[in-house]
Structures are given as structure tokens and as C-alpha cells.
Amino acid sequence: TALLLALQVRLVMKAHSFIRENVPRVLSSVKDKSGTVHIPRISQYLYFLFAPTLIYRDNYPRNPTIRWGYVATKFAQVLGSLFYAYYIFVRLCIPQFRNSSQETFNLRGLVLCIFNSILPGVLILFLVFFAFLHCWLNAFAEMLRFADRMFYK
């Protein structure tokens, strides 16, 4: 459910950006009573839906070719991050909670369990950010030939 919620939020943000960029342009052409109203093509909107950006533009800078080796490297890094997160769970998280479930509840055990879970939790958080924000989005940017890697600067 969290994944579906994240996808829905992304789509709402992209729709908001698309509307915010295009409605003033259409309204100004209607107010000026000019005969040409620039409406984006479906292909521009579809490219925007998959591009790793939340700011709509009619055209983005594009690379001439796709570096498939770079894409494979980024997807391998995503897989490596998943396996490393699995290793952290198996070695650091599961034994800690397995032992705590067999004991009677006390405050000391709860505090120790929480403090022993902080480092694995932070490592998992870093892995998720690295795998998604760096590897996954850069792989899709390369496959879509999205050239502006410093877009938000």
C-alpha cells in the first residue's frame, strides 16, 4: 500500500505541474484572442510522466544515445542494495526481535531492542535512498535519454 500511495502522490504532483505550466499559456492565448493555442502533444505528456522530474517543460535536453552499460550498472547497484538490506535484516534485525518476542515485556528490554535497531534502521534508510534516488532514477533517466542531470540546480 505504501508503494501505491507513493505512486499516486507522484502522479498527482506531475499532474499539478502539467496543469500549472499549461493553463496560464492557454488562458493568455484565449484572452489575446489569438488563433493559435499551444496545447502540448500526448507524447510530451507521456515523456514527462516517465522522466525523473516534477517540473513540466515542453522539451528537455536529450542525450543522443543510451549507454546500456551505465543502465545495467545502476540496476546491478539496485539489486546489490536489496541483497545488502536483506543481509542487514537477517543478521541484525531478525535475531534481535526473535529474542525479544520470547521474553516477558519489560522497559529495559524494549529500550535495548530500540537502541539495537537504530543502526540497522539507518543503514536500511540510506540503502533505500541510494537505490531509489540515485540508482533507479538515473537508470530511467539514461533509458529516456534525459540529459540534464543537474536539472534542479
Residue with cell 522539451: 59
Full-model pTM: 0.74
DSSP 134: I
pLDDT for res 150: 66
Rounded to whole angstroms, the Cα distance separating 38 from 148 reads 24
Q: Could you give phi then psi for residue 62, rounded to 5 degrees? A: -125, 145
DSSP H helical ranges for 32-67: 42-50
The per-residue pLDDT for range 32-50, each reduced to its tens digit, is 776 677 888 899 999 999 8
Which one has a higher pLDDT value, 29 or 142?
A: 142
The per-residue pLDDT for range 47-63, each reduced to its tens digit, is 999 888 888 988 888 88
| Nearest-10 Cα torsion for 87, 5, 58, 51 | 10
Q: Average pLDDT of 137-142?
A: 90
Per DSSP, the three-state class of 18 is helix
pLDDT for res 127: 95
Rounded to whole angstroms, the Cα distance separating 75 from 55 reads 25
Q: What residues does each domain of the chain span?
A: 1-59, 61-152
Number of H helices, E strands in the chain: 6, 0
Per DSSP, the three-state class of 146 is strand
Q: Give the chain's largest Cα–Cα span.
A: 77
pLDDT for res 107: 85
Q: Average pLDDT of 3-7?
A: 90
What mean pLDDT, rounded, does the chain reach? Answer: 87
